[in-house]
Structure 1
């Protein structure tokens, strides 16, 4: 039997560009609710697919490569940008011939039209989220290049910045080929209570839980999440998050327009 490759997962989660897509829903997405498709030494979890205020196409899935899994062949996306987040394990990522080893909380910002591949080089499962998107406005490759091009960021290369409530780790805040602005950071709340007052902004935002328990209010509805779950607040929605437990919590926050 032919082995399923990473590119097969991309095909599995891809959709015909001519099909009618619905707007992605606002609210909570639970890790244990994501449908799982398994093949030899790999698993894929479909998370969301649709449109958003700034994207004519947005899709998110999670991939798990078991130790010894055969990586898919290097490939490039013609008009899709990607953001990858390592949940667990050790990843070797290669973009245009340059390779880097990333661990948990490592992040890749991948511009369109660049050859890339991902491989599990550890002795445990490698699990990572993949956010794929195409802007409603025209793709601007030159803008992305001028802002720094593709990124491969290891968490241990960044600096934790303490705050009164805990602290945070800035990853990037910049334009990309598809976004006028894409900002990403980790927030840590050491004690029970809110991160900040409820607010709203033009960007759509995802809060991806790493540790602890949180509660988030989005346009008057209250949701709760733990590790692996995430919240999605659309452009213009009033929202606010708080630590709902007695232990510290950590989460990625990333937003775009």
Structure 2
């Protein structure tokens, strides 16, 4: 699966994350994890409607997913609502690489000399140490997801520099390829500071289509629903997912995505290699 996207398991818990008591995780400007900390995330769907909003000075946040995976010593996914004229800046340090995905409204993203207005479906990928600013220059609220991640394999700042400048792409700029099931949009496949490679694409499925036969792969994966209503076939069970929801698929878990009969669905798919 394609559009930025955390051992073979035959019985998958319906809810996640699992207990995080065994891992030391701090969210914010600093991140600390135990060496060899066990995975704290299992396969499942994080529902937008069940993520409790927390008021902030610029709007609100929603906690969607935080924990440790097979390849990541820290994965944190928050949603941000920015009121008109408000802004925020992720921590500008080496704690994590970041991926921003706009859900609603328009956001102006500035990273060094790079500057761009991103609408719904727009994405920004920036490496650890870069200092982004996200501003809502519109007249209505805007919402986005911010994915922060660091790999267990360590950081390589030179690798990030060689990969080039931050990725800033708006949805209309993405190259669309027709498929026998709908559409596919490749977005990026490149290194960042904490990851040897991160790959993202978007997929559109027509009504009644499935992404592919249920399969497994070594890489962990994140699915972010942009529109529609689907069933995620995870191991031996099914879980519903709708626009705004996020799906985490650990390494080796059998899965596929089944669209319903009522209309198209769109989703981002994200994988990585440490």
Shorter-chain TM-score above 0.5: yes
| Worse overlay, 158-167 or 73-82 | 73-82
Give 1:7's aligned residue.
Answer: none
Q: Deviations over 1:171-215 (max 9, x none)?
A: 011222212221111100112131111111111111111111111
Given that residues 54 and 60 in structure 2 are in contact (C-alpha distance below 8 angstroms), is that contact kept between their aligned partners in structure 1?
A: yes
Give 1:124's aligned residue.
Answer: 140
Secondary structure at the aligned position of 1:173 is classed as strand
2:79 to 45, 62, 66: 62
Give 1:44's aligned residue.
Answer: 61
Give 2:49's aligned residue.
Answer: 32
Q: CA deviation at 1:98?
A: 2.2
How many residue pairs get aligned? The number is 245
Q: CA deviation at 1:25?
A: 2.6
| Worse overlay, 147-156 or 60-69 | 147-156
Secondary structure at the aligned position of 1:193 is classed as coil
TM-score normalised by length of structure 2: 0.84
Aligned partners of 2:29, 2:58: CA distance in 1, in Å?
A: 24
Q: CA deviation at 1:17?
A: 3.5
Given that residues 195 and 272 in structure 2 are in contact (C-alpha distance below 8 angstroms), is that contact kept between their aligned partners in structure 1?
A: yes
Give 2:31's aligned residue.
Answer: 17
Provide closer, same or farther for how the CA distance between residues 169 and 205 of structure 1 changes in structure 2, counting only shifts above 3 A: same
Aligned partners of 2:90, 2:73: CA distance in 1, in Å?
A: 26
2:206 to 187, 190, 202: 190
TM-score normalised by length of structure 1: 0.89
Given that residues 81 and 134 in structure 1 are in contact (C-alpha distance below 8 angstroms), is that contact kept between their aligned partners in structure 2?
A: yes
Provide closer, same or farther for how the CA distance between residues 112 and 19 of structure 1 changes in structure 2, counting only shifts above 3 A: closer
Given that residues 183 and 254 in structure 1 are in contact (C-alpha distance below 8 angstroms), is that contact kept between their aligned partners in structure 2?
A: yes
Aligned partners of 1:246, 1:105: CA distance in 2, in Å?
A: 22
Within-5 A mapping of 1:136-147: 136-147=152-163
Aligned partners of 1:214, 1:95: CA distance in 2, in Å?
A: 35
Provide closer, same or farther for how the CA distance between residues 157 and 46 of structure 1 changes in structure 2, counting only shifts above 3 A: same
Aligned partners of 1:147, 1:16: CA distance in 2, in Å?
A: 25
Aligned partners of 1:79, 1:39: CA distance in 2, in Å?
A: 22
Secondary structure at the aligned position of 1:183 is classed as strand
Provide closer, same or farther for how the CA distance between residues 19 and 66 of structure 1 changes in structure 2, counting only shifts above 3 A: same
Q: Deviations over 1:64-114 (max 9, x none)?
A: 001122x24685122310111000111111101321111110111110111
2:216 is the alignment partner of 1:200: yes
Give 1:100's aligned residue.
Answer: 116
Aligned partners of 1:72, 1:122: CA distance in 2, in Å?
A: 15
Give 1:6's aligned residue.
Answer: none
2:126 is the alignment partner of 1:113: no
Q: CA deviation at 1:149?
A: 3.6
Within-5 A mapping of 1:151-230: 151-230=167-246
Segments of 5+ residues of structure 1 without an aligned counterpart are: 1-11
Over aligned residue pairs, what C-alpha RMSD do you find? 1.9
Secondary structure at the aligned position of 1:83 is classed as strand
Q: CA deviation at 1:15?
A: 8.2
Provide closer, same or farther for how the CA distance between residues 250 and 68 of structure 1 changes in structure 2, counting only shifts above 3 A: same
